Chain A
Amino acid sequence: MIDNNLVKKCKEASKRMRINAIKMTHNVGNVGAHIGGALSMIEIMSVLYLGVMKYDIKNPLMEKRDRFILSKGHGVIAQYAALKEAGFLTDEDLLTFKQNETQLYAHPSMNLKMGIEFSSGSLGQGLSLGVGTALALKQKNNTSSRIFVLLGDGECDEGSVWEAAASANHYQLSNLVVIVDKNNLQYDGQTKEILSMDPLEEKWKSFGWKVLSINGHSEKDLLTALNSNSNVPIAIIANTVKGKGVSFMEDNVLWHNNRLTENQLIQAMEEQED
């Protein structure tokens, strides 16, 4: 049974996180940021950090914590927004995003005290790290922690993703969960035009994973899927919209990485009001 209060809590967090992602993008000025793919993963992040994962901000290295690996590193604005909700970061920290000497790089930089398990940015590498982490936890007899790896659907073009997917099944890593943020767009256009990986569900299934296909913007669906169990690794195909929540960004490839003008900021913020 899904706790409705928890759904509400996650929804409220998603809303604040979307606002923060927009503010962070605006704050960096003309260099812009990877806002489109961050907005598609907002609900995934809010549900993981506020409804699913175990962690302790006072003891970030706690052995029994769940591990989160952002393989699609360019979406990190959404993770920073979630880390703020979780208490690892402050509003002031968020404003340092992409500034010189910040800890908040445009791609995550390993910082366990800040809740970032690994650096990423070079696509296709996070799932192998997840497999290694999952094997390590089994080796340590840590049966309570889970490992969540977030991939982009464009990222699934990388062959190394499938090397890792095969090994996760081979080692029956039931403590490993992949979430694919399937927003159907990549840098150069629609995934089906650049390199079609459909049917993505079938691919993960054929690699031996338990596959759940859900609405990646539904906190309720995400809570259900992320709390499900299996004796094989789980792949959650989260069907999302790139740029979700800002009308002029939605499903528009121009917002993979872009800057926000003052007028666009006003409009985007207005759209966040109920």
Chain B
Amino acid sequence: MTNTSTASTPVIEQDARTKQRPMSKRRLVLRRFIRNVPADIGVVIFTLLVLLAVFGPYISPWEYDELDFMSLTEPPSAEHWLGTDVAGADMFALAVRGLGKSLMIGVIASLGTSVIAAIVGTSIAYFRGWVERVGMWLIDMLLAIPSFLLLAMIVSAFGSGANGWLALTFALMIFGWFGYARVLRSMTLSLREREYVQAAKYMGVPSAKVITRHLIPNLGSILIIQFVLGVVVSVLAETGLSFLGFGIQPPDTSLGVLIQEGSGTLLTAPWMLLVPMALLVALTFSMTLIGDGLRDALDPTSQSGGKA
């Protein structure tokens, strides 16, 4: 067969291409992302927050559940860097612990919703027919249920104890994916008509493999954005629930719990509110910036493109 290929192999074609090979997609996206200054700021803030949550407990002289009865409601000082709360716990240790917890919940819940939404959304679009009809009907029903009440009930039933936060994360995951699944299903509608999907089908590739190999990776950019913005949504949901007493249960803590406790002493001990507040704002703000930056970088029609 070698003679065939020499007969029709365009030698020049090879050379011509190597010379003018276009920039790879990944590099192009990275370049566009880096050029976006707000997104870079977001990355820096987020990295600092993660570092703080991971290494904070090691540099803090106090444990978060260690009470210093000698200093109750003390303002920031050399001993307690960010002051103490009413019970004498160190604010820095508490804030670091709360930030870590909130981050964990946010990331895990968002990851979970993205995975569930991706699998459900692509599957109901790929299988078509009655699967799609029943699936869409179910999602529309689920969207209409009062998820907040159910969330609160689950947390009050299972939310106590050391692993209470897992119940909350799980609940956020279970009630968070419907809307995303609906969006991903409509994205898959055009993807499922692509010829490479048909080609795989006609090759005899099993449906589960078509979904994980061809459909989900090609929704990648949307999934990334969804995940990043999902972290913001989950963190806000967690803080909201904790603030109302349905979230993380003491003695464990989170940003929401700290804000709730601090809100009572805004005038007498403002540091108790301002510290967790600042961390929460920094966290959601940085994630939003990153999410926006990713969307602009991945969207070929956006205005963040270069000027020649």
Our verdict on whether A and B bind, yes or no, reads: no
Which residues of B pack against A, CB within 8 Å?
Answer: none
